[in-house]
Amino acid sequence: MVIDYLLDSVGITATDLTQIVGGLDKTNLWVSISLVILLTVISKYRNILDGPGIATAIILGTIVGVLGHWTWLVILLSFLAAGSAATKWRWEEKSAKGFAESEDGHRKWSNVVANGGIPGVIAIFAFMNESWDSLLPVYGSAIAVAAADTFASEFGCVDPRVRMITTMNKCEPGLNGGWSPNGQVAAFIGAFIIAILTWALGWLLQGGSTTGVMTFIGVVTIVGWIGCQIDSLLGATLENRGLIGKGQVNALSIAAGALIAWQWFAALGWPF
């Protein structure tokens, strides 16, 4: 199936999501490459990523766009932009309290891999099986988990009303496994934003109908929020004990969210 697809370079005009051609379709290639170049320029100019981070983002961006679909790359770039804005929100205050992960608010290559690695794997699977349609909500849910966790961390760390997720006892802001009311709301908003983008770009822009819009957006949002809670649980039980690092926690929670979405949307009969 994959070999036949590689030999056929004729694009297909989408009338619904099951006809979308990602991968090595000429249009998808050109748009994806252009977006990766744009990512490189903006990341350097806006100091979103450091040098190794930009190099890693180029590799992951190419995988997501070329093997997945250019709209998938736009979703990933939107998360990157939103995450950078969240990181730099009240930056001086967070830096003074020791909550900052870098000296100037940029993200490192490890952040790129932790948040983009699983989406990259999903894009590879979509390419191998030509299943861009069925894996769209799985991909979107993976990004939603990353967005929910980033928003919860960056907006919640300045909220003093923090409790440990495993015991519900009060704890210090910024501690792994801690959650706050502001963080929970921010997590939901982050996941909701990605859910809307996934629906709008991955479905409607490709000619899909509005059938099941509330279900799609609702499930992706909920999965994103649940993934954030899984991240907190892993942080409280494993990261605080030094058994795994922050990047591993992020990757595991995103993978868990993707698996939940895969089973949930399969049970719902996606594509609707």
> For the residues of the chain, what is the DSSP string, one character each?
-HHHHHH-------SSGGG---TT-HHHHHHHHHHHHHHHHHHHHTT-B-HHHHHHHHHHHHIIIIII-HHHHHHHHHHHHHHHHHHHTTHHHHHHTT--SSSSSPBPHHHHHHHHHHHHHHHHHHHHHT-HHHHHHHHHHHHHHHHHHHHHHHHHTT-S--EETTT--B--TT-TTEE-HHHHHHHHHHHHHHHHHHHHHHTGGGT--STTHHHHHHHHHHHHHHHHHHHHHHHHHTGGGTSS-HHHHHHHHHHHHHHHHHHHHHHHTS--
> pLDDT at position 204, please?
75
Average the pLDDT over 241-259 and give the result: 96
Average the pLDDT over 155-171 and give the result: 93
Position 171 in a domain: yes
Look at residue 205 and tell me whether its pLDDT is greater than 80: no
Confidence of residue 251 (pLDDT cuts 50, 70, 90): very high
Position 8 in a domain: no
Q: State the chain's mean pLDDT as an integer.
A: 87
Position 11 in a domain: no
Between 28 and 206, the more confident residue is 28
Look at residue 12 and tell me whether its pLDDT is greater than 70: no
> pLDDT at position 1, please?
43
Average the pLDDT over 113-127 and give the result: 95
Strands 178-179 and 163-164 turn out to be: antiparallel
Average the pLDDT over 129-142 and give the result: 94
Position 3 in a domain: no
pLDDT tens-digit profile of 27-74? 899 999 999 999 888 888 777 788 888 899 999 999 999 999 999 999
Domain, as residue range, for 129: 16-267
Look at residue 244 and tell me whether its pLDDT is greater than 60: yes
> pLDDT at position 104, please?
58
Nearest-angstrom CA–CA distance, 165 and 149: 14
Confidence of residue 272 (pLDDT cuts 50, 70, 90): confident
The answer to whether the CB of 174 falls within 8 A of the CB of 99 is: yes
Look at residue 17 and tell me whether its pLDDT is greater than 50: no
Look at residue 237 and tell me whether its pLDDT is greater than 90: yes
> pLDDT at position 44, please?
80
Q: Total domain count for the chain?
A: 1
- For residue 115, CA distances in Å to 30, 119, 269 come to 25, 8, 28
* 15-19, 76-80, 181-185, 233-237: segment of lowest average pLDDT: 15-19
Confidence of residue 103 (pLDDT cuts 50, 70, 90): low
Between 106 and 113, the more confident residue is 113
Confidence of residue 20 (pLDDT cuts 50, 70, 90): low
Position 1 in a domain: no
